[in-house]
Amino acid sequence: NAGVMQNPRHLVRRRGQEARLRCSPMKGHSHVYWYRQLPEEGLKFMVYLQKENIIDESGMPKERFSAEFPKEGPSILRIQQVVRGDSAAYFCASSGQGREKLFFGSGTQLSVL
């Protein structure tokens, strides 16, 4: 009975490379959320997706960032041409139909050199 699974756990990229972060929601959950956390900060909402649909992307930077949640497979957060400021912990969460309580994964720590 796995919870929210994120991989990789740690990701190191050089400036200009692409970063792909994966998230498999908890079984039976169809709502996926991505959050970003900087050191000593709270989590900041990025995007909310359902299968094949982006519901709310109000927290996503306008450029270089994209997210998808395909019909089959995990949700992907993609960051193109990474910069040092993208270094952060990225957390995925999922919820069931109630959508009030979020279940979080362990996060992906992205380090941009």
- Which residues contact another protein (rule: CB under 8 A)? 4, 6, 31, 33, 40-45, 48, 55-56, 58-59, 91, 93, 95, 99-107, 109
Give the residue with the Cβ less far from another protein, 8 or 16: 8
Question: At closest approach, how far in Å is the CB of 68 from another protein?
Answer: 17
Question: At closest approach, how far in Å is the CB of 16 from another protein?
Answer: 27
Question: At closest approach, how far in Å is the CB of 14 from another protein?
Answer: 23
For 69, which DSSP code? -
Q: How far is CA 7 from CA 19, 40, 55, 58, 63, in A?
A: 12, 22, 23, 24, 23
β-pair partners for 54 = 49
CA dihedral over 56, 49, 4, 92, signed as positive or negative: negative
Cβ–Cβ < 8 Å for 65, 77: yes
Give the residue with the Cβ less far from another protein, 47 or 82: 47
CA dihedral 50, 77, 2, 111 (to 10 degrees): -160
Question: At closest approach, how far in Å is the CB of 81 from another protein?
Answer: 26
Give the residue with the Cβ less far from another protein, 63 or 100: 100
Give the residue with the Cβ less far from another protein, 72 or 100: 100
